[in-house]
Structure 1
Amino acid sequence: MPRDFTDDALRVAAGQYSYSHMVHPARDACAIRRPDEALLASRGAVAVVATCRGAACAEESGAGLDAAGEGRAASDAATMFLAAYYATPVSVSVPAAARSAIEMVRDRLATQHRAMSAGCRAPHLGVMMIAGATAHVLTCGICQVYRLTAQGQLEPLTGHVDAETGLPLSSMPSATGVIGQRRTSVAPNDIFVLTSRPVDHWIDGETVNEEVQKGSLNSAARALALRAETAGLVGPLAIQIVRIDALSASDPASMFDLAALPVPVLPGEGALLDGFRILRRLHASAYAHVFLAAAPDGRRVALKLPGPETAATPARLRRFALEAWVTRRVDSPHVLRGLHMRQRQEQLYIATNYLSGPTLRGWMDEHRAPDPEQVVRIVSQIAVGLRALHRRDLLHRDLRPENVMFDTDGTVRIIGFGAAAVPGADATAPLWRGPVPGALAYAAPEVLAGRLVSWRTDQYALATIAYEMFTGHLPYGPESAMIASARARRRLTYRPARAQVGQVPDWIDAALRRATHPDPARRYDRLSHFLADLQHPAQDWTPARGLPLSQRNPLAFWQGLAAVLATVCAVLFARMGG
């Protein structure tokens, strides 16, 4: 029976068949994969066919794989492509990720099977990635990807190739071996046929449509393969039929697609932007303008548009596009989520749910001495949001009270992804947009010193926020924002929260001290461990009254010691003078 891949958005059915031939007994391969929701949004579902033609290699090098080896190589190629493609950082565009995966597969198999010459780098591949309402097709060698057109024609999407050499009839291969690439829109009920070698000389669109209409895609794939063999096709063949049953309602554009969109003119009240009606302006700065708008379905949403400084700088526009991209990648009740839009986005902006509650900074201004349990509840929600980001290999890097908001029901949500770090994205290199009030106060020492950052960098910011909520101060004072070297980092002295506000329990103070340690390696291994220690004393916790002053409050200890020494020196000096 055909394989059916289904979620609330994308629904794709596929049928497969492959056979060997007495003249050339190797078996070609085909595969299809639909990943989980997170990767589906950025990478889509993928179908692949593969073959390894050792005979052609043998003609050039005098050696080649046997039939069993070719079959294994083809199967390995299909499996390796899927693994390599989905392992590529999600920030990389779909075509670039596919080209990278093809190059990796061909290089690895060429290394494993050294009988192949460098001039014939098996395997040959045909791949199709379906993301949103777009299909990205790449082929190398003799593999083909066809589309059954509305006129009943079998259209090769990347052009015709020579059935023996795999060389294109109109262009030459690239360094990766990709000889054909195409991006095309798709719609429900579209039919695609992937084959391990050209078949349009032996079967036509009418035949494909006839077999598909019979119901079973597996049966249709088998029938087409046998028709091609009967018509004179010599050699093995793998054939995969893919039918689009339903598409995603949202447009999962890559950050590269978003960055290429035009910057909209700042709209006035009542203006329309891609179907959103502007209600009023909420915020304006050189970086961005935020508007309250009504969506086509009546929902109130927030639209964030590039400000004048952002629009004038390509690097800042890429950063803005990255922020828009990040909001669509994470699904958590504690992270501001970008809208899944049914209409295609035509201009550069960020559309999110509208939050009418205050920022955490506003809440802190109104709650100067909050209950510790209330602080822990808020910090726990922020931590849940951070963990959702980290599971997607994303770092926030700008967590501060101004970038945390409350919803109308009191739910805490993380916002402000303009400084987010995404693996593999050049646009995520540090880009300081000038002074940001309060931002550096929450930046970990390794950030200020230009060192490597990790998820522990967000942990430091979260613990600093928690410390400030408890005490109204920063754990290392204002000088922590001026760290520029490892030596300066070592001079930082933690100021016990309990010394600032007596109601902070010692075991919470111990958790804050560890989570804000200047050395990232000395912080918690997991955010969940930090939260656990905020809620209950850690197993290795020692009550502060059992610790010497030098450990409980190093600053007070050294200040006191300095005072004693100064007094002793004064007394000695007086005696000597007498």
Structure 2
Amino acid sequence: MHSDPGPNEQNDDCLGVRVPEGVELGTKGVAAVIADGVSAAEYGKQAAEICVQGFLSDYYDAPEAWTVATCGSKVLQSLNRWLYGLGQSNSLDGRGYVTTMTSLVFKGQSAHLFHVGDTRIYRIRGTDFEQLTRDHSFSFGKGGSGLARAMGMDTGLDIETASFPLELGDRYLLTTDGIHGFITDSVLKEVVLAAREGDFDQACRLLCQKAIEAGGNDNCSAILIEVQGVGTASKREHQRNFQRLPFPPDLAPGMKIDGYEIEKELQATSRSQTYLAREIETGQLVVLKTPSVNFEDDAGYIERFVMEGWIGKKLKNEHLAGAYVPPRGQYFLYTVLEYIEGPSLEEWMKANPKPDVRQVTSIARQILHGLRAMHRLEMLHQDLKPSNVIIHPTRGAVIIDYGSTRVAGLQEIDAPFAGQHHALGTLGYSAPEYFLEKLPNRKSDLFSLGVIIYEMLTGKLPYGEKYERCHSVRDFSVLEYHPATKFNSHVPVWLDGALRKAVAISPQRRYESYSEFEYDLEHPNPKFLPENAGPFIERNPVLFWKLVAGALLLAEAATLVWFLW
């Protein structure tokens, strides 16, 4: 492969190839990616780099249970959403991170392409020269042209995909328009056919040189790959591609599975089992989470289970538990999660029924930082509760369990599950919008965090037991917030005001940003002090109208007595 800026000072192209070793070569294959940052975009170069690096990272981190087609599409959707968000935040026109992108994955007996924009893939088989991709562009005016599709252009992404059988000796050429826009197919074919094994980089340099000599005024890049071996599709690989991995058998201490030895069972619920396991080669302790056989035919459950491992591999924060790839490949459906030593927050609360307020706000801040790291990747945890937080001796609070996590960039293409906004977590900690089938957002996780802080301080929930029985707007409208100061006199009034705002029934009344809430947890906000608490009708509307109704009833009774007298 080779990339040249041409006559320009900056090279907005980016390209990469990954050839893994060992088990990963068979389970994931070889991937090649080429991207051409749109010159009219403010950050086209950065967009191209994000796409190439992101694809080569995320594709290999994805679950083995996903087919290549599913995996590639999910990764591109996620990258597109990320670029679009960056563009909206960092550029004047909202389209600063835009790039074309074309990737090719070789696995087993097939090649799989994923294509957005006007970069291209050609195949040379014998003497046949064929363009495998279509240019997603349009013409206008006198010789003008523009891109109809590109990464980062919009939240919706129409990906061109295809797969086709491999043959020994096939050559695949990936180019940016700095090459194929200035030299003919016959020249491309001539250079590719003439290339000798070991001289492919030189052939790519020659293509760039010919494009520049032909008047090329753009960056030019090329990747040339030859198929020197075709994998055999075993029965097991066929199942992986078109079905799911089988559920593992019941596990017990001493049993071995895919390079792990089971130490003990940690927890068993109706939805899953978790085990403490040791990696045999390194001795590292991990947590194996296996699916419950109760859901063996539940496609939605299996999809979420598989997603948990993928999400854990994406998260890099000391307050978030990570996930691992099995060292010897994976032949059963399970997730390998980071083992976090320490008690759960639920256990910590039982051992500390009357904690110091500063201890509580310190733990809250750590959980908040973990949530914020997830939100930067457009992920919502959706099941934040004390049992899903571990208090590690050095890392502090660490969030675990991503079985209910929602990933915005992937939600759009999971059609069977995209409309499921109902409460996936524990009822007492889930925000009202889940019960009302409204679209959740970052404020939904904020509500759960507020409930946890309230419970740490009081041992109770902010709306009492009635909350879990609410199912309609009317049900929620009559709920009353119970001041934390009522149950714990050591809770400052201003801190109670911050909690009241965080767990407001209406998302519009909650904090707009996590940083604002974090600040109010440790700094008295004058708005929450008694003299600035606002009109009584806003602070306690239910009680206000009850008092009004009582006053009217008394007035009516007094009038009746006066007339009778």
Q: Does the C-alpha gap of structure 1 residues 286 and 569 become closer, same or farther in structure 2, counting only changes over 3 Å?
A: same
1:266 matched residue in structure 2: 250
Q: Percent identity?
A: 26
1:232-271 equivalences in 2 (<5 Å): 240-241=222-223, 260-271=244-255
What are the equivalent positions in structure 2 for 1:112-123 lying under 5 Å apart? none
Structure 2: distance between partners of 1:407 and 1:433: 28
Q: Please give the residue correspondences for 1:182-221 in structure 2 after superposition, counting only pairs within 5 Å.
A: 193-195=173-175, 196=180, 197=185, 201-203=189-191, 207-209=195-197, 211=199, 217=201, 221=204
Residue 461 (str. 1) matches residue 461 (str. 2): no
Q: Which amino acid is 2:113 matched to?
A: V
Match of 2:400 in 1: 415
Q: Is 1:532 aligned to residue 519 of structure 2?
A: yes
TM-score by length of 1: 0.64
Give the Cα separation in 1 of the matches to 2:36 and 2:540.
Answer: 66
Q: Which residue of 2 aligns with 1:284?
A: 268
Counterpart-to-counterpart distance in 2, 1:480 and 1:287 = 24
- Distance, in Å, in 2 between the alignment partners of 1:366 and 1:242 is 63
Seen in structure 2, the aligned counterparts of structure 1 residues 387 and 562 have a Cα distance that, compared at 3 Å, is same
Deviations 1:174-209 (A, max 9, x none): xx895853699xxxxxx9742444767423577354
Shift of 1:418: 1.7
Of 90, 96, 107, 2:73 maps to: 96
C-alpha distance in 2 between matches for 1:164 and 1:430: 37
Instruction: State the alpha-carbon separation in 2 of the partners of residues 161 and 100 from structure 1.
Output: 30
Q: Is the 8 Å Cα contact of residues 496 and 552 (structure 1) preserved in structure 2?
A: no
- Contact 2:6 2:219 (8 Å CA) reproduced: yes
**Distance across 2 between alignment mates of 1:397 and 1:332:** 18
Contact 1:94–1:136, Cα closer than 8 Å, also in 2: no
Aligned counterparts of 1:555 and 1:86: Cα–Cα separation in 2: 55
Q: Distance in 1 between matches of 2:173 and 2:484?
A: 66
Residues 1:223 and 2:206 aligned together: yes
Residues 503 and 312 of structure 1: CA distance in aligned 2, closer, same or farther (over 3 Å): same
Verify: 1:15 aligned to 2:7, yes or no: no
Q: Does 1:127 align with 2:83?
A: no
Superposed CA offset, 1:41-83 (max 9, x none): 9xx8731479xxxxxxxxxxxxxxxxxxxx999xx99999999
Give the whole-Å Cα distance in 2 for the aligned partners of 1:77 and 1:414: 35
Q: Check whether the contact 1:506–1:544 (CA below 8 A) recurs between aligned residues.
A: no
Q: Name 1:381's counterpart in structure 2.
A: 366
Q: 1:155 to 1:273 in 2, by over 3 A?
A: farther
Quote the Cα distance in structure 1 between the aligned partners of 2:54 and 2:107: 19
Instruction: Note the C-alpha offset of 1:542.
Output: 2.9
The secondary structure found in structure 1 opposite 2:379 is: coil
Residue 381 of structure 2 corresponds to residue 396 of structure 1: yes
Aligned to 1:352, the other structure's residue is in SS state strand
Specify the SS of the correspondent of 1:328.
helix
Taking a change above 3 Å as real, the CA distance of residues 155 and 142 of structure 1, as seen in their structure-2 partners, is farther
1:357 aligns with 2:338: no
What residue identity is the alignment partner of 2:14? I
8 Å Cα contact 2:288-2:334 kept in structure 1: yes
**Is 2:516 the partner of 1:516?**
no
The aligned amino acid for 2:489 is G
Q: What residue is the counterpart of 1:5 in the other structure?
A: none
Q: What is the alpha-carbon distance in structure 2 between the residues aligned to residue 509 and residue 364 of structure 1? A: 19
Give the partner amino acid of 1:269.
P
Q: 1:280 to 1:429 in 2, by over 3 A?
A: farther
Structure 2 vs 1, CA of residues 402 and 211 (structure 1 numbering), >3 Å: closer, same or farther? same
Describe the shift of the 1:259–1:469 C-alpha distance in structure 2 as closer, same or farther (beyond 3 A). farther
Alpha-carbon offset, residue 490 of structure 1: 2.2
Code of the residue aligned with 2:73 in structure 1: it is: A
| Aligned equivalent of 2:13, options 18, 28, 31 | 31
Following the alignment from structure 1 to structure 2, what is the Cα–Cα distance between the partners of residues 548 and 199?
79
Cα distance change on mapping 1:165 and 1:129 into 2, 3 Å = closer
Give the paired residue count: 459
Q: Contact 1:489/1:518 (CA < 8 Å) preserved in 2?
A: yes
Do 2:485 and 2:493's aligned partners in 1 also have CA atoms closer than 8 Å?
yes
CA contact (8 A) 1:30 1:240 kept: no
Contact 2:246 2:333 in 1 (8 A): yes
The Cα offsets for residues 333-388 of structure 1, whole Å up to 9 and x where unpaired, read as 11111125444333221111212322111111121111110000111111011101
SS at match of 2:529: coil
Q: Is the CA contact (8 Å cut-off) linking 1:259 and 1:348 kept in structure 2? A: no
Offset of 1:96 from its aligned partner? 3.0
1:266 to 1:206, Cα distance in 2 relative to 1, 3 A: farther
Where structure 1 has 5 or more consecutive residues not aligned to the other structure, the ranges are 1-13, 21-28, 35-40, 51-70, 104-124, 147-153, 168-175, 185-190, 231-235, 245-255
AA matched with 1:194 = L
Q: Does the 8 Å CA contact 2:191/2:203 hold for their aligned counterparts?
A: no
Q: Does 2:467 correspond to 1:483?
A: no
Q: Highest CA radius of gyration, 1 or 2?
A: 1
Q: Is the 8 A contact 1:211 1:223 kept in 2?
A: no
Q: Deviations over 1:448-501 (max 9, x none)?
A: 111121110110110011111111111111112233222332222211111222
Q: Is the 8 A contact 1:258 1:348 kept in 2?
A: no
Change over 3 Å in CA distance of 1:132–1:556 after alignment to 2: farther
| Aligned partner of residue 190 in structure 2, secondary structure | coil
Mapped to 1, the partners of 2:557 and 2:132 lie a distance apart of 98
For 1:539-578, what aligned pairs fall within 5 Å after superposition? 539-543=526-530
Kept after mapping to 1: 8 A contact 2:73/2:159? no
Give, in angstroms, the shift of residue 305 of structure 1.
0.4
> TM-score normalised to the size of structure 2?
0.66
Name the CA distance, whole Å, in 1 between partners of 2:162 and 2:525: 60
Contact 1:202 1:227 in 2 (8 A): no
